[in-house]
Amino acid sequence: MTASPTVLSALADGVLTLTLNRPEKLNSFNEEMHLALREGIQRAHDDPAVRAVLLTGAGRGFCAGQDLGDRDPRKGGPAPDLGHTLETFYNPTLRLIRSLEKPVVCAVNGVAAGAGANIAFACDIVLAAKSAKFIQAFAKIGLIPDAGGTWSLARILGEPRAKALALTAEPLPAEKAADWGLIWKAVEDDALMPEAQALAAQLAAGPTLGLGLTKRLIQDAATRTLDQQLDAERDCQQQAGRSADYAEGVTAFLEKRPARFSGK
């Protein structure tokens, strides 16, 4: 395992595991952790050996959003430009997660607050420990839900639940988040990592090209008409149909054996 101090990164069997690693601060983001996480996800883009990503947190929390100690207003000085912070640090990472044509599994091992919750919601399949909770903490400090929060909450939950969560900062327990369709599932705490690792391994052994195209199509569907989406499906299926993994998948079916996908 290679370790940058704030994000642990380990590649095994096609799964790149990225572990947010400032446990004493509930893995809240300082600049170093921002850059380390971005570097990890960029590696997933660039390295063909990476076929799935597993994102989790060290210690008892997943991520408490921005490190609020970083900009202590009691120290005085001009008001910070938080728009610049978003543009420089959060938004590039969110865009990298969404544009990565490989599955990103998120294992929410504990509290996910502020941008920490919304980064989880940007991942493709989110599992959470039953003891975890999601908090749109922004309302408590005079901010708006960033890191894609207003987009994903409104889109996934609809306005009534999105507004109530964002305006009250009421913690949402993992099981309720799963009931509401905000995450894939809530599992017993000690089952979280084994289950998330098995899922990531399954995805990493899958037909990566087809899975990546599937991710893109589903993400793009919301901004397209059915006609446009049918065209996009045609084009992507054309591409998938030319892949080695399609040939292997069909051959394996006909030979009644498990497929051995190469990711190509």
139-176 in b/e form (b: 16+ CB < 10 A) is: beeeeebbbbbbbbbeeebeeebbeebbeebebbebbe
| Nearest-approach distance from CB 37 to ligand LHQ, in angstroms | 14
Q: Is 34 in the site for ligand LHQ (CB under 6 A)?
A: no
Pick between residue 64 and residue 183 the one whose CB is nearest to ligand LHQ: 64
Q: Is 138 in the site for ligand LHQ (CB under 6 A)?
A: yes
User: Long-range CB contacts (< 8 A, 24+ apart) of 69-77?
Assistant: 69/25, 70/30, 70/31
- From residue 146 to residue 165, the character string flagging contacts with ligand LHQ as x (rule: CB under 6 A) and all else as - is x-------------------
- β pairing state of 15-20 and 7-12: antiparallel
Which positions from 40 through 69 interact with ligand LHQ, judged by CB under 6 A? Answer: 64-69
Q: Is 115 in the site for ligand LHQ (CB under 6 A)?
A: yes
User: Long-range CB contacts (< 8 A, 24+ apart) of 70-75?
Assistant: 70/30, 70/31
Pick between residue 41 and residue 204 the one whose CB is nearest to ligand LHQ: 41
Q: What tokens appear for 182 in the block?
A: 């905000």
Q: Is 139 in the site for ligand LHQ (CB under 6 A)?
A: no
Pick between residue 69 and residue 73 the one whose CB is nearest to ligand LHQ: 69
Binding-residue total with ligand LHQ (CB under 6 A) = 22
| Nearest-approach distance from CB 189 to ligand LHQ, in angstroms | 15
- Sheet of strand 172-173, all strands in order from the earlier edge strand to the far edge: 61-63, 111-113, 133-135, 172-173
* Candidate segments 139-147, 180-188, 201-209, 219-227, binder of ligand LHQ by CB under 6 A: 139-147
Pick between residue 63 and residue 186 the one whose CB is nearest to ligand LHQ: 63
Residue number of the CB closest to ligand LHQ reads 65
CA angle 186, 101, 20 (to 5 degrees): 50
Q: Is 28 in the site for ligand LHQ (CB under 6 A)?
A: yes
Burial label for 241, CB within 10 Å (0-12, 13-18, 19+), is exposed
